[in-house]
């Protein structure tokens, strides 16, 4: 099998899956003006991942998902409880809770993870898109069932997470739309905003855990917010925003990592972190549109279908 | 839980910790511990105003986006033959790129219809990505390998030298002086920016000054607790202090004291036990302080909440709501505190439940006119 298949192709696949999943969920968060909750969620999954790893002594995807989602939801609930019981503003609550969760995660990471596991702190912080490789024995065709079985396990989790997101967004389309655009009305109609919100957060946590191996816990925020935020600026219906954000996310995924590992070295520059460049590239559309200045409907104008 | 056979850093007993807490672990560690504590005080002090003005998240943006500046400063310093790990050099780079990020968020919010949250998240994560890109790009340069990611992101107080400690303490002192001088103005802008503007105060410039002070303290914090956890130095002490006091006079010093305590204990723990990361230890101590405050805090703690009389204004609004709506006040629409107050009103015989809604009784309707009856029902001195 070619070198392209075993390295670049796998990287591209992982970046594509992460970008797609993050973009479709990110749309909801950008519309609900809750982008900074992502900052909390993506940092907070760490202690859950470490404890799950310690409990089963392997990077079993199910255990990782359960641990990560539990920790992520715990942080969101804690932010909510502090908000109900105290006068602390949301930014301070978010910052307080995620930094404690992340610190506990790093401490557990240092204390309980044996050195023989090759997870370094750098992976937590910046992801290891480069380490995803697909090695198939020479006698097996890469496209046979057995060959596909050698794909990195992280990719399988990402596919499952993407399918789960699509299913959830399709099933709760009406509820999400109503609660995003008119939460008061949704409440009077007997919808349960808290539960739908919690469900959305759970799915965001799943997406963050699925992309963790490739992107770490911070760069993933760029994929969640960058493409949807740019799409928000150039579209006035929910549907066009979704399509635009997908298009922008896919272009970032197909430009960033190849440029980092192949493009720059060909220009005589050192190769750089693929995940880092992916995150940086995904914000370019927003910056470009900011330079263009205000346009489209004013902030107060009704949006959505 | 450590693997067997490894030396257990936590098993050395409390002696080392006591030594570290009483500053007997050598000149350098002592100096660093004190400098970090000073920084904790400065961060907590300015953090109180960051919280009141709802600017805390900007700290996270500035902290994450200092990374490209730090990488570039290390590279430029290396080319110029300076020490690429010197704190003053890296601080300059960090300050420049942090300020650029702040300006970028400001421009995005001003020029587009994106909300501040989205703008902050975009700038934070992509700036961090750019930083990772630059750091990974320069790590192959000979002489720069040691500019490791982990120290920058998770704190490296243990490796700080005496000169760095003076630098950090100096920044903390500077910020403290700045905030103290502008304390009255910051309080005014935090509580009523519109009134401040109408009264002729330069609100935008004061906001900028506050953000500048926040940026200064956060970039000093990067060298103590790391870029990711600087947020904690600003947010946690302020949040904890808020649960103890209602007074804007006491909030900043209290928050500063909690910050100094957390930084001091956290740094001492790191000095006493090998292998513990500084930043996370400080944050965990501060988190414990918030937890204690959440339970016992005099102003907002859970322990005192049941005993405190309900706010009179909310009681009156709820009573009026039962009267003014045609079909009563639906029981399902109330939040926890509101339900508690309505139940208090019921015990005083001012409201009654019919079906799934609350209605006022006759004495309830009278109480709407008389201030004293409602105050008596809620256990307040009229």
Interface predicted TM-score (ipTM): 0.88
Q: What is the mean pLDDT of residues A24-46?
A: 88
Asked if the C-beta of A170 comes within 8 angstroms of chain B's C-beta atoms, the answer is no
**B318-327 CB contacts, 8 Å cutoff, 24+ apart:** B318/B342, B318/B345, B319/B345, B319/B350, B319/B351, B319/B360, B319/B364, B319/B367, B319/B368, B319/B374, B320/B368, B322/B351, B322/B357, B322/B358, B322/B359, B322/B360, B322/B364, B323/B359, B323/B360, B323/B364, B323/B365, B323/B368, B327/B357
Q: Taking 80 as the threshold, does the pLDDT of residue B331 lie above it?
A: no
Residue in chain A lying closest to B282 (CA): A103
A221 within 8 A of B121, measured Cβ to Cβ: yes
Asked if the C-beta of A107 comes within 8 angstroms of chain B's C-beta atoms, the answer is yes
- Say which of A284, A290, A296 has its CB closest to residue B107: A290
Q: Tokens 């307040």 sit at which residue? A: B380
With residues binned 3-state (H G I as helix, E B as strand, rest as coil), the percentages for chain B, rounded to 5, are 75, 5, 25
User: How far, CA to CA in Å, does B52 sit from each of A8, B45, B56, B192?
Assistant: 49, 12, 9, 11
Give A85→chain B minimum CA distance, Å.
8
Give the model's pLDDT for residue B320.
81
Burial of B79 (0-12, 13-18, 19+ CB in 10 A): exposed
User: Do the Cβ atoms of B1 and A54 come within 8 Å?
Assistant: yes
Burial of A80 (0-12, 13-18, 19+ CB in 10 A): middle
Q: Tokens 């409201």 sit at which residue? A: B351
- Contact partners, residue A225, CB within 8 Å, separation at least 6: A26, A29, A30, A35, A38, B118, B121, B122, B125
CB atoms near residue B208 (< 10 Å): 13
Give the model's pLDDT for residue B143.
64
Coil, helix or strand at residue A128: coil
CB atoms near residue A284 (< 10 Å): 17
Q: Which two tokens stand for residue B198?
A: 């109408």
User: Do the Cβ atoms of A283 and B125 come within 8 Å?
Assistant: yes
Asked if the C-beta of B137 comes within 8 angstroms of chain A's C-beta atoms, the answer is yes
Q: Which two tokens stand for residue B12?
A: 């050395």
Give the model's pLDDT for residue B251.
92
Q: Tokens 């209602």 sit at which residue? A: B246
Coil, helix or strand at residue B90: helix
Q: What is the mean pLDDT of residues A191-214?
A: 85
User: Which stretch of B52-66, B72-86, B236-250, B303-317 has the lowest confidence by average pLDDT?
Assistant: B303-317
Residue in chain B lying closest to A105 (CA): B280
A223 within 8 A of A18, measured Cβ to Cβ: yes
Look at A129 and B208; give whichever has higher pLDDT: B208
Which DSSP symbol is given to A130?
G
Average per-residue pLDDT in chain A? 83
- Say which of A89, A103, A283 has its CB closest to residue B54: A89
Query: C-alpha B160: how far from its chain's center?
Result: 24
Q: What is the mean pLDDT of residues B240-248?
A: 89
Q: Are strands B351-354 and B329-330 parallel, antiparallel or unpaired?
A: unpaired
Confidence of residue A304 (pLDDT cuts 50, 70, 90): very low
Coil, helix or strand at residue B314: helix
A positions 132-161 inside 8 Å of B (CB): none
Give the model's pLDDT for residue B144.
65
**% of chain A beyond a pLDDT of 70:** 91
Burial of B103 (0-12, 13-18, 19+ CB in 10 A): exposed
Nearest partner of B132 among B194, B190, B71, judged by Cα = B71
B230 within 8 A of B59, measured Cβ to Cβ: yes
- Say which of B51, B114, B132 has its CB closest to residue A92: B51
Give A140→chain B minimum CA distance, Å.
35
Q: Taking 70 as the threshold, does the pLDDT of residue A174 lie above it?
A: yes
User: Do the Cβ atoms of B287 and A282 come within 8 Å?
Assistant: no
**pTM (two decimals):** 0.83
Asked if the C-beta of B287 comes within 8 angstroms of chain A's C-beta atoms, the answer is yes
């Amino acid at each position: 099998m070619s070198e392209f298949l075993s390295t670049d192709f796998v990287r591209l696949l992982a970046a594509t899956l992460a970008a797609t999943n993050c973009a479709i969920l990110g749309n909801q968060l950008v519309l609900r003006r809750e982008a900074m909750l992502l900052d909390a969620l993506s940092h907070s999954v760490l202690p859950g991942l470490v404890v799950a790893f310690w409990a089963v002594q392997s990077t079993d995807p199910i255990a990782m998902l359960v641990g990560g989602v539990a920790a992520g939801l715990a942080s969101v609930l804690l932010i909510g409880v502090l908000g109900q019981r105290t006068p602390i503003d949301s930014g301070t609550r978010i910052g307080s809770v995620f930094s404690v969760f992340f610190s506990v995660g790093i401490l557990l990471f240092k204390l309980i993870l044996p050195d023989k596991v090759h997870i370094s702190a750098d992976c937590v912080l910046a992801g290891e898109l480069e380490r995803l490789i697909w090695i198939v024995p020479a006698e097996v065709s890469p496209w046979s069932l057995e060959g596909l079985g050698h794909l990195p396990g992280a990719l399988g989790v990402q596919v499952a997470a993407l399918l789960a997101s699509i299913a959830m967004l399709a099933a709760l389309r009406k509820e999400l739309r109503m609660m995003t655009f008119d939460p008061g009305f949704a409440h009077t109609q007997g919808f349960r905003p808290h539960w739908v919100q919690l469900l959305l957060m759970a799915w965001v946590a799943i997406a963050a855990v699925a992309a963790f191996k490739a992107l770490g816990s911070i760069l993933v925020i760029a994929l969640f917010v960058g493409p949807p935020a740019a799409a928000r600026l150039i579209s006035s219906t929910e549907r066009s925003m979704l399509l635009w954000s997908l298009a922008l996310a896919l272009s970032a995924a197909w430009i960033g990592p190849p440029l980092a590992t192949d493009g720059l070295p060909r220009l005589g520059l050192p190769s750089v972190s693929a995940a880092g460049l992916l995150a940086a590239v995904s914000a370019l559309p927003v910056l470009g549109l900011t330079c263009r200045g205000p346009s489209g409907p004013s902030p107060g104008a009704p949006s959505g279908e | 839980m450590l693997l067997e056979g490894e030396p257990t850093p936590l098993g050395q007993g409390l002696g080392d910790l006591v030594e570290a807490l009483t500053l007997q672990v050598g000149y350098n560690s002592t100096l660093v511990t004190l400098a970090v504590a000073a920084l904790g005080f400065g961060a907590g002090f300015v953090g109180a105003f960051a919280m009141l003005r709802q600017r805390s998240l900007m700290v996270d943006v500035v902290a994450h986006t200092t990374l490209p500046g730090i990488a570039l400063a290390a590279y430029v310093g290396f080319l110029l033959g300076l020490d690429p790990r010197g704190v003053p050099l890296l601080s300059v780079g960090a300050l420049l790129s942090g300020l650029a990020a702040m300006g970028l968020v400001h421009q995005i919010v001003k020029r587009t219809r994106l909300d501040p949250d989205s703008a902050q998240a975009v700038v934070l994560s992509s700036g961090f990505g750019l930083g990772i890109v630059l750091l990974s790009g320069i790590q192959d340069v000979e002489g720069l390998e040691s500019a490791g990611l982990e120290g920058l992101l998770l704190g490296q107080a243990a490796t700080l030298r005496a000169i760095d400690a003076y630098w950090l303490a100096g920044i903390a002192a500077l910020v403290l002086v700045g905030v103290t001088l502008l304390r009255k103005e910051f309080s005014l802008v935090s509580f009523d920016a519109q009134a401040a503007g109408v009264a002729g105060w330069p609100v935008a410039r004061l906001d900028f000054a506050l953000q500048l002070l926040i940026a200064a303290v956060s970039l000093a914090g990067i060298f103590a607790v790391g870029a990711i956890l600087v947020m904690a130095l600003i947010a946690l002490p302020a949040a904890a202090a808020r649960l103890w006091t209602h007074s804007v006079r006491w909030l900043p010093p209290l928050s500063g004291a909690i910050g100094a305590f957390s930084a001091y204990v956290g740094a001492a723990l790191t000095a006493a036990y090998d292998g513990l990361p500084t930043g996370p230890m400080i944050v965990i101590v501060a988190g414990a302080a918030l937890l204690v405050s959440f339970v016992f805090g005099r102003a907002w703690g859970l322990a005192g909440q049941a005993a405190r009389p309900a706010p009179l204004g909310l009681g009156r609004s709820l009573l009026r709501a039962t009267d003014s709506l045609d079909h009563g006040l639906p029981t399902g629409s109330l939040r926890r505190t509101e339900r508690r107050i309505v139940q208090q009103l019921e015990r005083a015989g001012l409201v009654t439940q019919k079906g799934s809604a609350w209605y006022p009784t006759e004495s309830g309707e009278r109480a709407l006119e008389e201030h004293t009856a409602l105050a008596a029902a809620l256990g307040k001195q009229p």
